[in-house]
Structure 1
Amino acid sequence: MSASSEALGPQLDFLLQTPLIRERGGESLQRQLLHRIRTAILDGRLPPGCRLPGSRTLARELGVSRNIVTLVYDVLGTEGYIDLSRQGTRVAALARPRAHARARRDSASPTLARRSDRIQKTVLGAAGPLAFAPGVPALAQFPRAAWKRCLDRALQQSDVGVFDYGSPQGEPALRTAILRHLALARGVHCDAEQVVITEGAQEALSLCVQLVTDPGDTAWIEDPGYRGGQTALACGDLDVIALPVDAEGLRTTETDWKMRPPRLIYTTPSHQFPMGSVLTASRRLDLIEKSRDHGAWIIEDDYDSEFRHSAEPLAAMQGMTPNAPVFYVGTFSKTLFPSLRLGFLVLPDALVDRAAPIVGEMLRGGHRHEQLALAQFMESGEYGKHLGRMRRLYRSRRDALKAALAEHLDVPHTVTGGDSGMHLTVHLPAAFPDQSVARAARKNQLAPLPLSQFSLRSQSSHNGLVLGYGNTPESSFAPGLRRLVHVIRTSGSLEANKYG
C-alpha cells in the first residue's frame, strides 16, 4: 500500500487514482474535486457514515491548497451530502433510490397525462430550409437592415426599464400600431385594451381556450385543419368535433347545432388551412349569429390573410357585426419571420373587463425590445412596404408553381388554394399514400406535408401534399417537382402502376 493510500485509507483510493487536471481555461480544481466526491457519495463508493480525511490531509495528498478542500467540504455540507463537526467529517445518511435499468420505451414506461394521447404526433420532423416546406416565408427577402435600425433605435430610445418585465398585455406602442393596421387592412374594430401580445399564435390559441372553456366542453374545428388549433383544444381537455370543409369553408348544419352545440369554434375563414378555401360571407354571418344564440365563441385565426393574390385582403369576421363573439388571432411569423415569436390576440369587447386581470396573471410580458422595434417598423411604413413586396413575390411564385405542376406532375391530381397565402394543396389518388410520399420526399431534400396528417379522423379521405412556396425560389420548382414525381411513383402502391 502506498504512503498516500495509507494516509487516506483504501476506501478513498479513488480520489488519487486520477489526478486533478490543471489546464488553462478548463474546469477549476474545486469543481473537479466537488464532482468527484459528490458522485462517489451518490453511487455508494462512499457509504453513509464513512469518515472523510481532514482538509489539510486531503489537500496535501492531492497537491492542492487547503482552501480548495475547505470550500468543497463547505458546499457538500450545505447540500447535505456530508456532516461537518468537530469530531470529523462523515458522509451523511441519504435516502437512496433503488438502481433501475433505463426504462424501456414500452407500455410499462411512465405515462404522460391522458390529454397527451389526444395530441396528434407530427409525421415528420422540422423541415429546415428544404424545398416546398409550408408555412415558411421568404426569409432571404426580409429587410434586415431596416429591422436592425428599428432594433437599435428601440434600444437607444429606451431606459434600463426595457430590461424589466413589461405589461402582461404587451407594449402599448405595439398594441396601438397593431390596432391601427388591423383597422385599415382587416376591418377589425377594437381599441388597445382588447389587444394582447403573445408569444406567437399558439399562445394566443391556448389563451382563448383557457379563458372561455372548461374541461369536457365541446369545441368545433375544421377537418382537415391546422394542427396548432387541434393541439390547443386537446390541451384544454375539450371534446373536439371535426366538421368538414368544402369550397365555401367550414360547413355546419342545424343538426350540428342541435345535437352537439359548441362552446368554442376554431376556424381559418380568410384562407382555410390546408385546403385554401374562403369562408363565404353568408356562412360567416350565420356562424356569428348561431354562436350568439348558443353562447359560443369563435376563434378567427387570420394567420396569412395579408397575402391575398386575386384581390384586396378580405375583411375579418370580427368586424362584420357589432360586438361579434370572436377572438381574432394573428401572428408575425408569416409576414416577418418565425423566430420573432410575436403574435397577438384581440379579445371580444364583451370579455375585456373580466379577462384583462386574468390575462395579467397568466402572462408575464417580455420581448420588450423586439416589441418596441416592431412598433417602429410598423409605424415607419416599413411593414407595409414589406407586405407589398411579399404579395408580389408570392403571387409570382404561386403562378410559377401552378405552371410547373401542370408541366411536370403527370399523375392524376387536382390543385386547390392559391388565392391567398404561401402554399398549394395537391390532391392525389389513394393509390399514392401521402404519408409514404412525404417521408420519401424528405430523404430527397423535399418537404411537402401529407394532407392526411391535418385530419382528426384516423381514416382520412383526404390524400395529397401541401406544397409551400414562400421560402422556395422559382428556380427550384422544376427540378424539385421532377424529384417529387419520381418519389410519388416509387412510393405508390401497385395500383399506381396503372398511371405509369
Structure 2
Amino acid sequence: MSASRFSLTLDRSGDSPYYRQIYARIRDAVADGRLRPGDRVPSIRGLASALGLARGTVEAAYDLLIGEGYLLPQGQAGTRVAPIGPHAARLGRPRPTAPAGALPGPRSVRPFQLGLPALDAFPHALWSRLTARRLRDADRLADGYPAPAGEPRLREAIAAHLALSRGVRCAPGQVFITAGYRHTLDLVARTLVRPGDTVWIEDPGFPPTRLLLETHGARVVAVAVDAAGLQVSEGRQCAARARLAVVTPSHQSPLGVALALPRRLELIAWAAASGARVLEDDYDGEYRYQGRPLPALASLDREGVVYYAGTFSKVLLPSLRLAYVVVPEPDLRRFEATCAAFHGGCPQLVQEVVADFMLEGHFARHVKKMRNLYAQRRAAVVEALQAVFGARLRVELQAGGMHLLVRLQGRTDDRALARAARRAGLEVQALSDWQHQHPVEPGLLLGFTNVSSPAVARSLADKLRTAWRP
C-alpha cells in the first residue's frame, strides 16, 4: 500500500464500528484509484498493531473486502488489490451516504421494510467483475431467446446447492427458473388448479398468495397456524379434497414458527392419499441463527407431492427478479408444458452471472456472511427496542428469519399504530393485515436486515416510541 496515495485513519468518536470504517476506507481507495490492482495492503497483524485494534476487527474488514472482490489473498505473498478491469471500480463505487435510518439508492428503502436483504452488504465489485466477464462472451448471449426452463448451468448449480444446504435431492431437470415467487405460484397454479378447486393457505399468511390464487378461480381456505405451524388436522376437516396447500414450513410467514415434524409428515401423507400437492415457499430458510438451518419439507418427500420454491430476492437482490421451483418427478411433463406456453424465460445474462456466483463458491460464502451480519443486526434492533420500550413491548424471537414480530402490551389496534409509524417514516406492518379468517393477537412486523448499526437501531426505536404515543 503506497503511503503517498493512501493512508488509513479512523474516526474514534463516531458511531460506525471500526471494522466498517476500515472496510469503507479501503473500498473507497480502490474505487478512487488511490489503491491500484496489484497493490499490497498491510497484513492483518500489521494493520491491527498500527491502529491499536484487535486482529479480529481488521480480519472482519478484510473478509468483507475479499468477499466483495476488492482484495485478493495470495498466501505468503500477502493480500493485494484484486486485478479488476478499468470500469469495475467505477461500477462498484459506493453510492453517497444516506441520512441515518435510510439506505442509498434511487428509491430510498424505508426503515424496517420487510423482504429486503442487506443492500449495503451486497458484493457490488465482485458482481460487476462477473458481469463484465459474461458480457465479453457476447456471441453466446445473442444466440436466441432464453430457455423457458432456465439456463442449464444455473439449474445444475441450484440442484447442487439444495442437496448440500437444504437436504433437497433433485436432478437439474427438475429445477425451473422463474421471475420471482409470484411467478412461481402462477406457474404452479396454472399447472395444478382449475376454477373451483380448493387450495389451503396459512392464516395468518402472505396476503398476495390469496389474491393470486383467487385470480385462477381457486376457492381459498385459510387454515390456522399455531406454535407448531399449519394445523393440518383443521385443513383436513375443512377441505380434505383440496388440490393444493401453500406453506412456509421452515420459517412461517409472518409468525416465524417452524412446522413441527409430525405435522410435516401428516401434510405429506394427506397430499399423497388425496392426490393433492404442496407448494413449499422456502423464502428465507437460509437464515437461522440458532443451530443449523432446518431441512426443507421437500427433503422428507418420498411420494412426489412437494414443489419446492426458492428465491434469490432475499439472498442477493430483489431487482434480479430471479427465483426457482423444484418440480416433483410425477409432474415434470405437465409443468414443462405450462412453462412452454406461459413463460418466455428469464434474462440469460442474469442467469449466467448467478450461475458463476454459485459455482465459484461466492454464493455459499455470501450466505454465511449474511447470516452472521443479520444475527448482529437482529440483536441490535432487539436490544434497542427493549431499552426504549421495556415491558410495553414483547419481542417474539424465533430461531431464524429476516424480520421481527413484536407484540403490543396494552395496545389492541396494531393497524392504527402501523399507520402512525409509517407517517413517522417507518415501514412497519400490522400483523392484523396478514390475517385472513382467524383472529390474531395484535403485533407489528419489522424488518431488521438494513438497520446498519446499534446507533441507527436506537434512533429507529425512538421514532417508533414517538408514534406509539396516542
- TM-score of the aligned structures, taking structure 1 as reference length: 0.70
Which of 257, 261, 275 is 2:236 aligned to?
257
Call closer, same or farther: CA 1:158–1:243 in 2, change over 3 Å: same
Deviations 1:122-176 (A, max 9, x none): xxxxx94111111111101000111111111222234154463111001111111
CA distance in 2, matches of 1:415, 1:236: 37
CA distance in 2, matches of 1:266, 1:162: 38
CA distance in 1, matches of 2:192, 2:380: 44
Call closer, same or farther: CA 1:173–1:396 in 2, change over 3 Å: same
Displacement of 1:357 in angstroms is: 2.5
Match of 2:217 in 1: 237
CA distance in 1, matches of 2:238, 2:403: 35
Match of 2:261 in 1: 281
* 1:460 to 2:444 alignment: no
Match of 1:5 in 2: none
Match of 1:18 in 2: none
Match of 1:469 in 2: 448
Deviations 1:64-98 (A, max 9, x none): xxxxxxxxxxxxxxxxxxxxxxxxxxxxxxxxxxx
Match of 1:144 in 2: 124
Which of 281, 297, 302 is 1:301 aligned to?
281
Match of 2:345 in 1: 365
Which of 371, 374, 395 is 2:375 aligned to?
395
CA distance in 2, matches of 1:163, 1:485: 57
Q: How does 1:76-475 map to 2 (within 5 A)?
A: 128-162=108-142, 164-253=144-233, 256-261=235-240, 262-410=242-390, 412-429=392-409, 431-457=411-437, 460-474=439-453, 475=455
Displacement of 1:410 in angstroms is: 3.8
CA distance in 1, matches of 2:235, 2:400: 29
CA distance in 2, matches of 1:142, 1:174: 20
Displacement of 1:285 in angstroms is: 0.8
Q: Secondary structure at the match of 1:159?
A: helix
Call closer, same or farther: CA 1:472–1:281 in 2, change over 3 Å: same
CA distance in 2, matches of 1:308, 1:277: 12
Call closer, same or farther: CA 1:128–1:290 in 2, change over 3 Å: farther
CA distance in 1, matches of 2:346, 2:248: 28
Displacement of 1:415 in angstroms is: 2.1
CA distance in 2, matches of 1:483, 1:411: 17
Q: Secondary structure at the match of 1:244?
A: strand
Displacement of 1:448 in angstroms is: 0.9
Match of 2:71 in 1: none
CA distance in 1, matches of 2:397, 2:266: 23
Deviations 1:295-334 (A, max 9, x none): 1110100000111110111111112132430110010001
Query: Contact 1:288–1:324 (CA<8 Å) still a contact in 2?
Result: no
Q: Secondary structure at the match of 1:242?
A: strand
- Bigger Rg, which one: 1
Deviations 1:397-438 (A, max 9, x none): 111222222211246333224311211101225734111111
CA distance in 2, matches of 1:162, 1:264: 39
Letter in 2 for 1:477: A
Task: Kindly report the root-mean-square deviation, in angstroms, between the aligned alpha carbons of the 2 structures.
Answer: 1.7
CA distance in 2, matches of 1:385, 1:480: 30
Letter in 2 for 1:464: G
Query: Contact 1:133–1:468 (CA<8 Å) still a contact in 2?
Result: yes
Structure 1: 5+ residue stretches without partners: 1-126, 491-500
Query: Contact 1:171–1:372 (CA<8 Å) still a contact in 2?
Result: yes
Deviations 1:440-480 (A, max 9, x none): 111211111111111113x8333110010011223211111
CA distance in 1, matches of 2:254, 2:323: 20
Larger CA deviation: 416-425 vs 373-382: 416-425
4+ residue runs over 4 A deviation: none
Query: Contact 1:131–1:476 (CA<8 Å) still a contact in 2?
Result: no
Q: Secondary structure at the match of 2:232?
A: coil
Deviations 1:278-309 (A, max 9, x none): 01111101100011111111010000011111
Amino-acid identity (%):
38
Query: Contact 1:146–1:382 (CA<8 Å) still a contact in 2?
Result: no
Q: Secondary structure at the match of 2:257?
A: coil
Larger CA deviation: 442-451 vs 151-160: 151-160
Letter in 1 for 2:123: P
CA distance in 2, matches of 1:418, 1:400: 15
Query: Contact 2:177–2:346 (CA<8 Å) still a contact in 1?
Result: no
CA distance in 1, matches of 2:355, 2:308: 19
CA distance in 2, matches of 1:245, 1:430: 24
Larger CA deviation: 350-359 vs 239-248: 350-359
Count of aligned pairs between the two proteins: 362
